[in-house]
Chains A and B, each alone.
Chain A
Amino acid sequence: MKNRLKVLRAERDWSQEDLAKQLSVSRQTINAIETEKYDPSLPLALKMGRLFGQCVEKIFTLEEAGGRRAN
């Protein structure tokens, strides 16, 4: 799953630590999500959507087999 978390965070000039604090998770979790090593749970994804004022599909996109993105 691809995500725009790093871009959204950079737009707001937040560090990973800042974002982690706002979502009540560890900085390692934010780093793992940004580097696409870990897909967050639905509640955490929804919290991110609410924090960035965007729907979850705008932040996370499912990559289909063959590298094509699906919304």
Chain B
Amino acid sequence: MYVMSSTLYILTCSLYYFPREGEMSLMRLGKHIDNAMKDVKTAVDETGSAVEETRRVYGLKLLRAGLLWGSTYMLSRGLLELPNLAVTVRVLIALVPVPVFIWFLWTWMKGLSEMDELQRRIELEALAFAFPIAVILLMTLGLMELAIPLNPDDWSYRHVWALMPALYFAGLWRAKRRYE
């Protein structure tokens, strides 16, 4: 595209440099083509930068939402360790991270709709890797709970859920590597 544009530009310039009779229409035509090529180049550049901008903004938004959710979760966990809190207050504190997490998920899903088809496939493969393993882990934990007494300080849902995003990131790494 750039080579074609440059060639046309040189041809157009040469026509301007050696104006002869009957070539005025060619000069005008060359100028029109040159302008059209510049417009195409600008449009292509704008599309490309729009794609990059979307990825950059999406990444920052997701990071911001993720940090806020992580902070809210840690704050909630910290407050729930405090003794002498009323049950209603404890329940309210436990539910505080939920809307923040929903906002995080909404940001993520909005970002998915702006991704190109390979990126969406990578996300899908990451989830397809993480989900069945998470199911296996939860099923095993449930059965082990029935089989032997497990220490809830080591083996409870608040410990196990963190494995799910870890599995998703492992799946993401695996899928990205496949298409590199």
A25 neighbours in B (Cβ, 8 Å): 51, 116-118
Q: Taking the complex as formed, is A46 at the interface, i.e. its CB lies under 8 A from any CB of chain B?
A: no
A17: which B residues are within 8 A, CB to CB? 48
Number of A-B contacts (CB under 8 A): 51
Question: Is A62 in the interface zone, CB < 8 Å from B?
Answer: no
CA separation between A39 and B116, bound complex, in Å? 13
Q: Which of A26-34, A52-60, A63-71 sits within the interface?
A: A26-34
Chain A residues with CB under 8 A of B48: 17, 20-21, 24
Known: A18-B1, A21-B44, A21-B45. A38 touches B118 (CB 8 A): yes
* B3 interfacial contact with A, CB 8 Å: yes
**Nearest opposing residue in chain A for B118, CB measure:** A29
Question: Which B-chain residue is minimally distant from A41 (CB atoms)?
Answer: B117
Q: Does A21 contact B51, Cβ atoms closer than 8 Å?
A: yes
Q: Is A44 in contact with B45, judged by CB distance below 8 angstroms?
A: no
Residues from chain A with a CB closer than 8 A to the CB of B81 are none
Q: DSSP class of B's interface residues: helix, strand, loop or mixed? A: helix
Q: Decide if B28 is an interface residue (CB 8 Å cutoff).
A: no
Indicate if the CB atoms of A32 and B179 lie closer than 8 Å: yes
Whether the Cβ atoms of B121 and A38 lie closer than 8 Å is yes
- Which of A13, A28, A44 has the largest count of B CB atoms less than 10 A from its CB? A28
Decide yes or no: A40 and B51 within 8 Å by CB, A14-B1, A18-B1 being known contacts. no
Cβ of B119 within 8 Å of any chain A Cβ, yes or no, is yes
In the complex, what's the smallest C-beta–C-beta distance from B121 to chain A, in angstroms? 7
Q: Is B159 an interface residue (CB 8 A)?
A: no
Measured between C-beta atoms, what is the minimum distance from A15 to chain B in Å?
Answer: 10
Contact residues in A for B179 (Cβ distance below 8 Å): 28, 32, 37-38
- A contact residues vs B (CB 8 Å cutoff): 12-14, 17-18, 20-22, 24-26, 28-29, 31-32, 37-38, 40-41, 44
22 of the cross-chain contacts (CB-CB < 8 Å) are: A18-B1, A18-B2, A21-B47, A21-B48, A21-B51, A22-B1, A24-B47, A24-B116, A25-B117, A25-B118, A26-B51, A26-B118, A26-B119, A28-B118, A29-B116, A29-B118, A31-B180, A32-B118, A32-B180, A38-B118, A38-B179, A44-B117
**The 3 A-B residue pairs with the shortest CB-CB distance in the complex, in nearest-first order:** A21-B48, A29-B118, A25-B116
